[in-house]
A and B are shown apart, each in its own frame.
Chain A
Amino acid sequence: MKELIDRNKQDLKSWFTDFSKSKPKGFIDIPLFHFSKSYIQALLPEYPPLEFEEQQIIERDLIKVIHEQLSFISFFLKLPMLFLILFFETSILISRGKKFSSLGKSRRLEFINKWSSSPFSFKRDLFKFFRTLTLFSFYDHPIVHDKLGVKLGKRNVCLESAGNL
């Protein structure tokens, strides 16, 4: 079983490395990747506490993983998603004098939290989608697993002691 974990840690390492080679697959992906980065960075959880270097590694990996996921979304969903992101990117120009992606992380998170409880479902759903993707990938990262003491693939102790193997 140890081999299984070691092998897959290796897989995961190469997996994240592979993402660095992945390129945008269509003309929508380039702006979508560019602007979605600011959401992912703002939504990175604060728990468990991480060293600065660990944070950098996770952030880099997550952006790659999520961009890969975004590239697989159907064209008919990606296009409206891009329009919405561009709209939110520029909508605060008037009130704040800055684009969304130019705001600081905490300010961006404030906006995302506000938009996430919007009465408009398209707004809520978009930010729920980004939150879900970010949390899912973050808590799947081996560094986070190590921090929280999660050991994947360990056999069930109860069944083992019951001689079910």
Chain B
Amino acid sequence: MISKVNSTNTFETDVLVIGSGAGGAVTASVLAKKGIDVTLIEEGSHYSPADHSPYSSIGMAKLYRQHGVTPILGKPSIAFVEGCCVGGSTEINSGLFHRTPDETIENWQRTSDIAEFTHDNMEPYFKELEKKLNISYLDGVLPKSSEIIKSGAESLGWKCVEVPRAQKNCTGINLCSIGCPMGAKQSMSVTYIAEGLKNGIKLIQRSKVVKLETEKNRIHTVNAISNGDNGKQKFLRIKANDIFVCCGAIQTPALLRKSGLKRNIGENLKLHPTIKITALMNEEVNAIQSTVPVFQVFEFAPEIVIGGSVFSLPYTATGLSDCWGEAQEKMELWNRMVTYYALVRSSGKGKVRAFPSAENYAFSYYKTTKKDHRNLSIGLARLGQLFFAAGAKELYPTISGHPPFKKVDECLVYLEKNIPLKRSGLLTIHIFSSCPMGENKNISATNSFGKVWDYDNLYINDASLFVDALGVNPQGTIMAIALRNINHYLSNRKN
């Protein structure tokens, strides 16, 4: 609950950007480069690469929302994590970068009537991002944790591609998920935000926006609670001419709904549920000392994509926890283990709501469909097939009480039969579409460029704007759409 507020500060800025993840960082940095007075407010703290720790508990406490304990409720509930620090989830992802698939652009265009949203429109933004983030393929010898997926897919004749990453001189220490201590991952804090700060962005960290005060069709004041180093809280009142909300697909709609804005907001949450398998291989993999796996299997795309997960001892233990009785002694063989996931482009839908008086007010729930259930089952079967083709000895699925797979036929059962969904440990790090954009006012929360319907000075510029689940890692699409929208804003801005 909100308490202990010691004093109030009021100040003014031309543009206020709320949230500093992939959308907010681009928005604030581009505006600052144009000489606009920009304030960037972020709930989490600002860390430099030297501040990051190789221990997962510390990394999660520093960088993750609520230490990583943020479920999306439903049957089953889906474990969800997101960044809560300057740079947002780009500080804790693997930096894998995809352009928006052409099929997705065409679908979104068709269903939501989005203006100026074609492959050709988006091309220059992707090119700019790829240069800026040094999107590049892995140099040198392929680590075994990546080779497994490649060799398995090749032996099965499946389509498998290397996904480029936002990285510069990555040394392969597999700490992407808790902040890269080498500064090799080209996350927002080392790219757009670093540049934006040089160009005059005013950064307010450790400050959570709790309400937007509205008057007719404008936001006139933004209220935030700022947490100081001394543990004391201050109340901030910020007046801005224009406001960009870029807090991600759960926090953005939660903030807007808490402020009384509800038109198509928080009604269309989409995500990629994933199911994982931890495999015991025949030989040492040393995934803990390798670059994150960079290959993904697209044989069953766009509905199912298979890829490699981050690897650390605590993650391995939680991967084995559903078969813990049988699996715990296998922890001795941690250097022969690797974890992969099957990601499903869900056809389900969720909602985001906000509790009126709590500080952590966002609350979300999601309903998977029969189609999702089928795809998760097929995904698990194919993932198992891939592992056995790559020489795995035993597989541990994240299904509570499920015995380990010891033969490929035991996995392939799920090509026909469904997995016990309620016992399955699903998780996601990809969420979107809670405030979709487009000219169709019946289904969209904003116009084609993120301007919130009925408000003159309020914009959304993050993954909430997606029309549907993407089917691939979303950072590239979030940033390209953010660049496109901010360019449109600048060309229409009154001086």
Contact = CB atoms under 8 A, between A and B. Distances in A.
B56 A140 contact: yes
A8 to B, nearest CB: 4
Contacts, number: 165
Nearest to B70: A74
User: Is the contact region of chain A dominated by helix, strand, or loop, or is it mixed?
Assistant: helix
B56 A125 contact: no
Contacts of B318: 132, 135-136
A89 interface: no
A117 to B, nearest CB: 5
A156 to B, nearest CB: 3
Interface stretch (B168-176, B186-194, B405-413): B168-176
Contacts of B295: none
Given A117-B401, A153-B173, A68 B61 contact: yes
Contacts of A46: 328
B66 interface: yes
Contacts of B139: 159, 162, 164
B71 interface: yes
Given A68-B61, A117-B400, A144-B313, A159 B66 contact: no
B316 interface: yes
A87 interface: no
A20 to B, nearest CB: 15
Contact of B313 (A15, A128, A133, A140): A140
Contacts of B173: 152-156
Contact of B332 (A47, A73, A162): A47
Contacts of A155: 171-173, 289
Contacts of A158: 140-143, 172, 290
Interface in A46-77: 46-48, 65, 68-70, 72-77
A158 B173 CA distance: 12
Contacts of A152: 54-55, 173, 175, 288
Interface string A29-49: 000000000000000011110
A48 B330 CA distance: 10
B291 interface: yes
B115 interface: no
Nearest to A74: B360
Nearest to A26: B1
Interface residues of B, number: 58
A139 B67 contact: no
Contact of A139 (B143, B313, B355): B313
Interface in B130-171: 139-143, 169, 171
Nearest to B3: A26
Interface residues of A, number: 57
Contacts of A12: 53, 55, 57-58
A137 B140 contact: no
A116 B289 CA distance: 34
A135 B324 contact: yes
Contacts of A163: 140
Contacts of B401: 116-117
Given A46-B328, A158-B143, A15 B314 contact: no
Nearest to B315: A136
Interface string A138-161: 111010110010111111111111
A105 interface: no
B75 A121 contact: yes
B308 to A, nearest CB: 15
B227 to A, nearest CB: 13
Contacts of A65: 57
A8 B328 contact: no
Contacts of A165: 169, 171
B313 A150 contact: yes
Contacts of A70: 69
Nearest to B425: A128
Given A135-B318, A150-B313, A156-B173, A4 B54 contact: yes
A94 B139 CA distance: 64
B332 A48 contact: yes
B400 to A, nearest CB: 6
The 6 closest A-B pairs by CB, nearest first: A162-B140, A156-B172, A152-B54, A158-B141, A139-B317, A135-B317
23 contacts: A8-B58, A45-B317, A46-B328, A47-B331, A48-B331, A68-B67, A70-B69, A72-B69, A72-B360, A74-B358, A77-B71, A121-B75, A124-B400, A124-B423, A128-B322, A139-B316, A140-B56, A142-B55, A148-B334, A150-B334, A154-B173, A158-B143, A162-B139
